[in-house]
Structure formats: C-alpha cells, structure tokens
Amino acid sequence: MTNTSAADVPFSQAETRPWADLQAQQLHELRRQLAYLQAHSPFYQRKLGAARIGADDVRSLDDLRAIPFTTKQELRDSLKAAPLLGEHQAAEWADVVQVQASSGTTGSPAYIGLTRQDCENWAEMTARGLYASGIRRGDRVLHGFSMSKGFVGGIPIWQGIERIGAVDIPIGADGGVDRLLIAARDARPRCIVGTPNFLLYLATVARDLAGCAATDLGVQRLIVGGEPGGGIPAIREGLQSHWGATCCEVMGGTDLGCVYWAEAPDQRGMYFVAPEFILAELIDPASGEPIPWKEGATGELVYSSLQRQASPVLRFRSGDHVTVTAMGGPGGRTTPAIRCFGRTDDMLIVRGVNLFPSAVQDVVSSMKPLVGGVMRVLADFEGHTTQQNLKLLVERAPGAAPHNDAATAAQVETRVRNALAVKAEVTMVRHGFFDAPGAQKVALTLRKAPDLTR
Amino acid sequence: MTNTSAADVPFSQAETRPWADLQAQQLHELRRQLAYLQAHSPFYQRKLGAARIGADDVRSLDDLRAIPFTTKQELRDSLKAAPLLGEHQAAEWADVVQVQASSGTTGSPAYIGLTRQDCENWAEMTARGLYASGIRRGDRVLHGFSMSKGFVGGIPIWQGIERIGAVDIPIGADGGVDRLLIAARDARPRCIVGTPNFLLYLATVARDLAGCAATDLGVQRLIVGGEPGGGIPAIREGLQSHWGATCCEVMGGTDLGCVYWAEAPDQRGMYFVAPEFILAELIDPASGEPIPWKEGATGELVYSSLQRQASPVLRFRSGDHVTVTAMGGPGGRTTPAIRCFGRTDDMLIVRGVNLFPSAVQDVVSSMKPLVGGVMRVLADFEGHTTQQNLKLLVERAPGAAPHNDAATAAQVETRVRNALAVKAEVTMVRHGFFDAPGAQKVALTLRKAPDLTR
C-alpha cells in the first residue's frame, strides 16, 4: 500500500531510488565514463591529461571537482576544429545514428551526435520528463515546438512522446499558428508542448483562427520550455487562464539530452529525471566552488554525461542559474527540483546589480492590464556590464492612448526599482510592436534600438 | 553468381519476387484487408454493402474492378463527418501511435493515422524507396523536405532513413536556406532529399551562403519528390549539373504511405517498391476501366491498401497520371516503373487540349539561357477548362533587357505550340519575379494575375 495516487508515480523507478543509492550509481557510471573518454575522446584525453586526472583518481563524487570545467567556448572551438561533431566526438561515425543541432550563438550551429544507445537514453529521459509533466499513454499531444533546424524540440521530443505511448501531432511551431490551431480544433489534444510565449500567443489568436476560445479546446496540460516563461509567475498564470489548463515547465538542452528537468503538476519546480544519465552539480558561478544540494540553494548548473557515447561532456558549464525549490517530491521522488531564473549569456550587470531579463519580464507582465505585458531590455552597449540606467521598451496596453505614456512609464520604473533595485528608463511602444512569438525563442534583450516609428 | 552489382540489389527481396508470385500475395492480402474493413471500418462497411461485394467475392485481382472507387472528395467528407481520422478509421484510437497530415486542398488538412504495424510498414516502404535512389547505411542525409505541418516529408522520411541505417540531418526546408547550406558545408552529406525546385534554388545560392559552389559540397545523390520537377528533363539536368550529383525521383503520398515509387540510378523511371503493402492499378481516367501494366501504357493510378490498420483506403483515385517506363529492372526488380506527368487537380483543358503545367514547365526550362527557366500558367478562369489561349508568365533571363521581350515571347509561343499543340500568350516578367521555392510545393498555376509592377 502507498498513499501516493497513481497519477504521481514517476515514469521510472530510477526517479524514486534513495539519493545515496543514486549517488553510488552516479559514481560508478562516472568512473566508467571517464575511462571511456580516456580511451575514445581526443579532446578529453588532452584535458584530463593536462589536469593529471583519470578514472582511477575519482573515488568519490567529491573528487569530481579536481576535473576542469568544459566551457561553451571550448566546445565551439572543438566543433570548429573538427566538423561535424568536434574533437570531443568519442564514437565512430559508423555508430552515430542521429544528429541534432543547437541554435548556436552566431554563425555555425553546434551539432551533437547520438549512437543507438544514446538515442535510447535520450528517449528515456525525455519520456520521464514529459510523463512527470502529465503526458500519458494514449494522449494526443500537439507539437508546438519547432520541428526543424535540428532542434531538440523536434525529433527528440517526438521520440520521448512516442516512448510514453502517446501520439504526437507533428505540426510544429514552424507549421504556423493557423495550422496549429486548426489541428487543436480537429484533434482536441489533451496536451500541448511548446515555448511559453508562443503558446500564450496561440491562445490570444485562437478565437480568430480556430473559431473558439482556447479554453474551449479541451487542453488539460501545457508543457513549456526552451526559454524563460514557464517559471515566470505572471506568464504562467496567463497561460493557465488563457487555456484553462495546468502549465508545467521542462528544461534540458542539446548538449546533454533533450529534457532532463520537468515540473510535475504540484508545480513546485522542475524535478531532475535523469540521475543515472547525467551528473548535475550546483556551483558558485563566480568561484566555481560546488554548492551542496538543498532547498533554497542557488547557483549555476554544471553537467557531466555519465553514459554518453557520441558527444560526451564533462563538467560542462551550462550557464543556467537556478534555485533549488525542493529535495524530493510526490510519488516518492528523491531528486532535487529547481527553478531556473536566468542564463549567464543573458545576465546584465546594471550599475553593479546582477539582472536577468526574465526577472524584468516578470515585473512587467504582472502589471497587466496597465501595460500589454511584452517588453524588451535595450542593451545598447558592449558586453554585459553598463553604468547606464536599465533601458526598457514596454508595450502599451491594447487601445491605450500615447498621452498616458509618461504616467505608465513612471509606474513601471517604480515597480522595477522596488522589485529589482535597478533604475529603469522606460519607453512605451505601441501594442503589437514586437513580433509575435514563433518558431524561434523569444529574445528578451535587444542590442540595437528598433525603429520606433514602424 | 549474379551479373548484378551489389549497388543494384534492392533493399528487400519483395522487390524481386516473380510478378505472378507478388500478384498471388496481393490477392491474399486484399482478401484479408477486405474482411478487415468489413469488420472495422464504418465507411467501407457502407460502401461495400452498397456495392454488394465482400472479401469472399474477390477470387482474382480482376474482381477488384467490381469495387467502387474511393474519391478524394469522399475522404474529405469522411474526415469532416468524424474528425480527426474520418469514418474510414478502422483501428481503435488506443492503437494509433502516429498521426500525419497532408496539405489538403483548402481549409482543414487531411489527417491519417498509423498503428505500430502501419508505422513499421511505412518505414519499410520508405526505406526501400530511398535505398533504391541511393541512400546507404552510414550515409549522412541532409533533410531538405519540410519537417513540420505533419507532412510525410518530415517524420516518415526520417523514419525511412533511420530504417536504412543512414543518419538524417534534420534541418528541413523550414529550417531555412542558410541553415541547410551551412549544414551541407559542415556535414558534407552524401545525399540530400527535398523538392526539386527547392534543391535547384539551394544550389544557385550556395556560393553566397556557404562560400562554395554546390558542386564543391561533395553531394552524390539528390533524391527529389513532392512536386513535378524530378521527372522534367530540363529541371533534372539543371539539378545534376548544379550539384554534380545524380538525381533520382521518388513519389508517394499521405494516403497510402510516404514513398512507394522510387527511381534507381538507372534513371528509367520510378520502380514500385511496396507490392505487398499497396495494390496499384492503372485506369483510364475517363472511363475508369483498368489498363494492363506494360511499358508505354498511360493512365491514372488507383491504390488499395493491403495491410493498413488505421486509415485504409480501397481503390483510391490518386489523380496521378503516369506512363509506364519499364517492367522490371536492374538487380532483379520485377515491379513496374513509371514517370508521373501530371495530376488531375493540375490538368487544364485548353481549347480541347489536355495540358499539364509540368509539360509547359519542361518546355520553358529547356529554353534557358534565353529565359530564366521559371514560369507560371495563369489560369484566370473558373474550373479547369478554357476556350482562351494558354496564358503564360515567363521569367526573363538574368540581365535580359525588356525591349527583347516581344521576340523572346514569340519564341516561347512557337516552342509551346510545337511541343504541346496549344497556342500560348506569353508575358515576360523580370528575373526573380516569382518567390524562391521554400518549404511549400511550387504551384505552377496561378489563379489570379499577380501585380506585374512589383
């Protein structure tokens, strides 16, 4: 007998094993992965050699800290030196069966490879995550992430849905808003997956394009990821009220897998679902020192693949800044849960204050209906640090008159200062000024001022 | 010992069985499918009941002609009456594991469902087709069809490539020309799949976007389908010279599978690769009477699914008009090969002459460099029949001066009259006037005159 409802039971027993057991398994897998890298990856042979550390030197998970970090720049250099999969490729091409790509920063996308076993492990992780968020066998799932460009929101999400035994309706964000809404009307999916801003936008145009309100489409679960938003309370509440559905956030990335953190309907944060495939550390982003997992702890996530064959990474600095929201949870879960509040790439230091655009978005979204809810940070300076005030472009409420701009802007500035301890300079722009969200992630930061007369 | 090179051997022995054996198997499968439909499909229960015919009445493949055709309009009505999969759905939703969509004509897309076994059969057919066209285990294949909208060019093509043991680079036409060319440069794929006009366009912008000519990218096979073009000699030759690769055409459709006709590098036409999954008949499109399979025969293709569980069709009028180009071929192939010269939906009757826009395209393309090679038929009348002359918009050659338009137009008119027995009225438009091909099929017919001043 158990006092857990069937709905709470995780997809895999791995998610409920005692934490100490999981750590023992992680150590075992880590040592095996290190030996594998020493044998197969030129990149890690070099890196481990320079640090004079090998599989035999790692006797506890604490010993991991002696291994140098892998940075995004190192991976970019590695990919550039040896296209397609980089010098960290550790499986023969003959064994690679799948290739995915990440958006990359500028120029070339970053590619990763998967062997047959890597694919199996990815599908397992993704299925656990999507299951935690509420997708069940037999469900029809409308695919609202981009299907193309090699993004993990495409084929790997499809594979996770298939692993659960649910049915993907593979329209994709790139299939267009009209077609997605028509498919929602025709297929009446129980679940939709997609980026939060795009799904919010879909709801606002549902009546025009599908002939009924989003709340009438019968959707019960919105599973969102790929950009901040699912973790921003005002956006989550907007999603839930527009769709009449529960919103759960998932997180992953191309380097380690597709989905490996996923929120359950308890909405306490995203649980780690891949303990035997990925070792996740929390570190102080400034010192690089490890931070113990416990509720309330804050730090940057660092990942090591534990069973990866084609494109392994070791102590990879993800740039994701998170807060631990729970240790274990319903259904016997033993793994930590987190909320991601920003990424290193997005972080600005405004007059000495660390600031994530997602935090600003949260403040502005919560001020609806005084404003439209959409904003952009205008970071018209080199790098991430400025001594200027924070420049914000904020969308007017629908139908709001420009002569109220000064008063509205002043209110936004006050709220931002109170919430984030930053002085903002707000410029109001017309409702609908910013492009509607689509197949691309929403960039909350602009590097150049847009043409405000357009 | 065999005098066939290993490269010619088909993917499956089913493609080389004696035709009589295949027909015996088809009869067996057909009777089983009919019994299945009588038991499970309300749509076909009604249709077979009205025709007073059942599985027991079909004792030879000739008896098939007693079964009424299924038209596209019937399927549209069926889908409308019972979304998502229509009244012809014959498997329980619990057994449906995959859904795909076709572009439909206007309004709602047409959805089809697949059970686990249907998926297996689709992957097998698609693998046979892509293998015939030259994709081999270990090949890297750049995915240039659309990945989204539920189209069979997305996930089902991926599944066929996976079945061969080749690696799909899942960028997709909707991933954008830049990204496709950068992936081609980085991944150096041996094969590319996509629509012919789009792959031709990709080649023309390769130098600008990937920094080298398409011929320098090392591609050996172009596998094209989804629209006419691969079968149009001028376009095929353009593709082959621009890429320095062999072009093979494939054909299929959402209703029966993904790919079930595929050209081998002998380039004699597309061989049928799915004899135990699909029964293909040739009929006279006017009388509906069967036409025997033999080289040189011409008719419309009619399909019956033989093993389909979720979305079966029986004597489905495809609207594809084909010529039989071979009966059997290299590597012991026993099945017919065809070339598709047009679709019922596209056919125009111009002053009593049947005319497919693809034939006009062939004439105009072959006149390069006098013209740019792109053209559109302007069918600014109701329906498909007109007593007017054929109106054509023809793109000028790059850099051609407008004052030569009259002379060029006259030459095109002469060539069209000689080749197609139709009097044309040609309007020249600037080079690049028509949109570059992208994720959508190229429509060779316009229903309204475009703004020629744009």
Structural domains in chain A plus CATH codes: 1-343 (3.40.50.12780), 348-446 (3.30.300.30)
Assess whether pLDDT exceeds 80 at residue A439: no
- Calculate what percentage of chain B has a pLDDT beyond 70: 98
Q: Are the beta carbons of A186 and B108 separated by less than 8 Å?
A: yes
Minimal C-alpha gap between A174 and chain B (Å): 6
pLDDT at residue A440 greater than cutoff 50: yes
Instruction: For residue B5, name the pLDDT band (cuts at 50, 70, 90).
Output: low
Percentage of chain A surpassing pLDDT 70? 98
Task: Tell me, yes or no, if A171 comes closer than 8 A to chain B by beta carbon.
Answer: yes
What digits encode the pLDDT tens for the residues B339-348? Answer: 998 888 888 8
Which residues on chain B are in Cβ contact (under 8 Å) with A118? Answer: none
Pinpoint the alpha helices (H) of B301-404. Answer: 357-365
* Contact across the interface for B97 and A167, Cβ inside 8 Å: yes
Distance from CA of A171 to the nearest CA of B (A): 4
Which tens digits make up the pLDDT trace of B134-147?
Answer: 999 999 999 999 99
A174/B147 CB distance under 8 A: yes
Inter-chain residue contact B149 with A97, CB threshold 8 Å: no
Residue B179 contacts A, CB cutoff 8 Å: yes
Nearest to A169 among B94, B150, B439 (CB): B150
Contact of A138 with chain B, judged by CB distance below 8 Å, is answered with yes
pLDDT in tens, A96-105: 999 999 876 5
In total, the C-beta contacts within 8 angstroms joining chain A to chain B are 124
pLDDT band at residue B155 using 50, 70 and 90 as cut-offs: very high
Per-residue model confidence (pLDDT) at position B427? 94
Cβ of B187 within 8 Å of Cβ of A111? The answer is yes
Q: Please, what is the average pLDDT of chain B?
A: 93
Q: Do A187 and B99 touch (CB under 8 A)?
A: yes
* pLDDT over 90 (residue A403): yes
pLDDT confidence of residue A107: 60
Please check the confidence at residue B1 and state whether its pLDDT lies above 50. Answer: no
**A425 interfaces chain B, CB cutoff of 8 Å:** no
- A96 chain-B contacts, CB cut-off 8 A: 167
By three-state DSSP, how is residue B451 classified?
coil
CB contact under 8 A, B94 and A154: no
Asked if the C-beta of B167 comes within 8 angstroms of chain A's C-beta atoms, the answer is yes
Determine which of A5-9, A376-380, B44-48, B405-409 has the lowest per-residue pLDDT on average: A5-9
Yes or no, beta carbons of B172 and A149 under 8 Å apart: yes
A288 pLDDT higher than 90? yes
pLDDT band at B107 (very low <50, low <70, confident <90, very high): low
How far is it, in rounded angstroms, from Cα B374 to Cα B378? 13
Query: Cβ neighbours of residue B30 under 8 Å, at least 6 residues apart?
Result: B58, B61, B64, B279, B304, B306
Nearest to A174 among B109, B148, B182 (CB): B148
Average pLDDT value over all residues in chain A = 93
- Would you call A167 an interface residue with chain B, using a CB distance cutoff of 8 Å? yes
- Which residue on chain B is closest to A176 by alpha carbon? B149
Q: Which residue is closest to B115 within chain A, CA to CA? A: A167
Structure tokens at A374: 């959409």
A150–B175 C-beta distance less than 8 A: yes
Question: Is residue B377 less than 8 Å (CB to CB) from chain A?
Answer: no
Query: Residue B90: left (phi > 0), alpha (psi -120 to 50), or beta?
Result: alpha
Q: How much is the pLDDT for A1?
A: 35
The reply to whether A97 touches chain B by the CB within 8 Å rule is yes
Looking at the complex, does the CB of residue B98 fall below 8 Å from at least one CB of chain A?
A: yes
Which of B305 and B441 is assigned the larger pLDDT? B305
Q: Does A50 touch chain B (CB under 8 A)?
A: no
Give the residue carrying structure tokens 């091909």: B437
8 Å CB contact of B111 and A186: yes
Give the model confidence (pLDDT) of A269-283 as tens digits: 999 999 999 999 999
CB-based contact, A310 to chain B, within 8 Å: no
B189: closest chain A residue by CA: A84
Task: Tell which A residues from 188 to 217 touch B, by Cβ distance under 8 Å.
Answer: 188
Place of tokens 């191309």: A254
Task: State the pLDDT at residue B387.
Answer: 85
Can you say whether the dihedral through the CA atoms of A128, A129, A135, A138 is positive or negative? negative
> Would you say the ipTM is above 0.90?
no
Residue B293 has, within 13 A of its CA and on its CB side, a CA count of 19
Nearest CA to CA, how far is A3 from chain B (Å)?
29
CA B193, B196, B201, B207: dihedral to nearest 10 degrees? 50
Q: How far is CA B442 from the centre of its chain?
A: 12
Please list every residue in chain A whose beta carbon sits closer than 8 Å to the beta carbon of residue B148.
146-148, 170-175
Q: Does the distance separating the beta carbons of A96 and B167 come in below 8 Å?
A: yes
- A83/B174 CB distance under 8 A: no
pLDDT of residue B6: 55
Interchain CB contact of A86 with B (< 8 Å)? no
Whether the CB-CB separation of A311 and A90 falls below 8 Å is answered with yes
C-alpha distance from B33 to closest chain A C-alpha (Å): 25
Of B68 and A443, more confident = B68
Closest approach of A13 to chain B, Cα-based (Å): 25
Cα separation, B76 vs B108, in Å, equals 9
Handedness of CA A392, A395, A400, A402 (dihedral sign): positive
Confidence of residue B240 (pLDDT cuts 50, 70, 90): very high
More confident residue, A129 or A107: A129
Banded model confidence at residue B421, pLDDT cuts 50, 70, 90? confident
Residue in chain B closest to A162 (alpha carbons) equals: B97
Indicate whether B3 pLDDT > 50: no
Indicate whether A5 pLDDT > 70.
no
Supply the pLDDT for residue B293: 96
Per residue in B295-350, pLDDT (tens digit) is 999 999 999 999 999 999 999 999 999 999 999 998 999 999 999 988 888 888 88
Q: Which segment of A114-123, A356-365, B211-220, B403-412 scores lowest on mean pLDDT?
A: A356-365
A389: which DSSP letter? P
Q: Tokens for A13, please give them.
A: 């027993």
Kindly tell me if the per-residue pLDDT of A218 is higher than 90: yes
pLDDT grade for B351, boundaries at 50, 70 and 90? confident
* Portion 66-85 of B in contact with A at CB < 8 A: 83-84
A295-323 residue pLDDT tens = 999 999 999 999 999 999 999 999 999 99
DSSP E strands in B359-406: the ranges are 371-378, 385-386, 390-396
pLDDT attached to residue A358: 87
Instruction: Find the mean pLDDT for residues B260-270.
Output: 96
pLDDT digits (tens, 9 = 90+) for B373-386: 899 999 998 888 88
Output the CA torsion sign for A350, A352, A353, A358: positive
Structure tokens at A70: 């892998």
**How much is the pLDDT for B2?**
38
- Looking at the complex, report in whole angstroms how far the Cα of residue A113 sits from the nearest Cα belonging to chain B: 10
User: Residue A138: its chain B contacts at CB < 8 A?
Assistant: 93-94
Q: Is A107 exposed, middle or buried (0-12, 13-18, 19+ CB in 10 A)?
A: exposed
Which are the contacts of B97, defined by CB distance < 8 A and separation ≥ 6?
A162, A165, A167, B114, B115, B116, B119
Non-local CB neighbours of A98 within 8 Å, separated by 6+ positions: A113, A114, A118, A119, A155, B162, B167, B168
pLDDT reading at A3 higher than 50: no
Residue range B25-31: mean pLDDT, rounded: 97
